[in-house]
Chain A
Amino acid sequence: MKKPSVLPSGVRFRGEMEGEGDLIVFGHVDGPVRVDGSLVIEDGGLIQGHVHARQITVRGALKGDAFADESIRVDASGRLVGDLTAPRVRVTPGAQFSGQVHVQVLESAPPLRTYDPALHTFTGLPAPEPISDELAAGVSLPETGSPPDLADPRPLTPLRERPSRQRAPAPTAEAEAAEAAPDDALTSRRTPVKPPKRVGRMPRIGRAKGSHRPRR
């Protein structure tokens, strides 16, 4: 099996993640995620954006809608604001969850692709609201001194101007403030589970599909 991708704690990514394989998130993702394997948001991890994967496990925090081709599992430590859509959904008592549940087969790939990093919105779905202090508390990055600043001390000259490609806006004051929170959640972090066995390929992203039926 392919080695899963890992976003470690202490790392923050702003933008979209998409592709093959499994992904384990200990850090902070600000944007949509789509992988054709399993996605695990570990305790202490945070994704602010809609997510789509074959299987999704939430032990950390998710602010955004979750779509899974097979199953969604929210463990007791999970905190989730958004809607869940999957053929099988399991929410463990103790989890904090606010949103709708749709136990159904995904008829087509949700429109996560139409994410605009500049505007930080999705055209297909309403954009997740900014992270509240409540949600951010305990899932924020640990204080590790100031991270290296791309604009300091000497600005790096871009290789070439790419006017057609827009970058995510610089972190807002609120987002920065949300980062500077205690790291108590990190101390209780669990070891990552082994991603579930792959059972075949997910249809290509962006194409309508109806072949995925829940296995009974």
Chain B
Amino acid sequence: MGYVGPGLVLRGDLRGEGQLRCDGVIDGNVALQGALVVGRSGKLVGAVRASAVAVEGVLEGPVSAGELNVLVGGRLVGDVRAARIGLEDGGSLEGTVDMEVDLPEEAS
């Protein structure tokens, strides 16, 4: 599992497979075939595309993910496109969510 420790700063684009946890700073885009966790002390500024994203720290940028979870203390600023979204009480989300919604026939 990839790990960006606190105090480490990455400026640039990261792509590949596998899990990644960021407790440091990533200033750039991230594309992962796997899960991305932005930890409590972590900050990510850039577009994110991953199979799953969990935000415990700060994420600023558009997110495209199979599943997104903003956890307690997490802050996400950006538009979201995801199949599943979880926003915990105590987490913050500022942006537009784009998700497939199956309304009952009467509503459509």
Interface residues of A (CB under 8 A from B): 2-8, 10-23, 27, 31, 35, 117, 141, 144-145, 147-150, 154, 156-159, 167-168
Contacts and interface: CB of A to CB of B under 8 A. Distances in A.
Contacts of B92: none
Contact of B49 (A3, A10, A17, A148): A148
Interface of B: 1-18, 20, 24-25, 28-29, 31-33, 45-47, 49-50, 60-62, 64, 77-79, 81
Contacts of A14: 12-14
Contacts of B18: 8, 10-11
Contact of A23 (B8, B11, B28, B79): B8
Contacts of B24: 5, 19
A17 B12 CA distance: 8
A148 B50 contact: yes
Most buried by B among A8, A23, A147, A148: A148
A21 to B, nearest CB: 5
Contacts of B45: 159
B14 A12 contact: yes
B31 A19 contact: no
Contacts of B15: 11-13, 147-148, 150
Contact of A19 (B9, B50, B61, B81): B9
Nearest to A20: B7
Contacts of A154: 64, 81
B61 A147 contact: no
Given A11-B17, A147-B16, A167-B28, A3 B33 contact: no
B8 A5 contact: yes
Nearest to B2: A8
Contact of A159 (B13, B20, B61): B61
Given A12-B14, A13-B14, A168-B13, A156 B8 contact: no
Contacts of A168: 12-13
Contacts of A20: 5-8
A21 B17 contact: no
A17 B47 contact: no
A35 B17 contact: no
A28 to B, nearest CB: 8
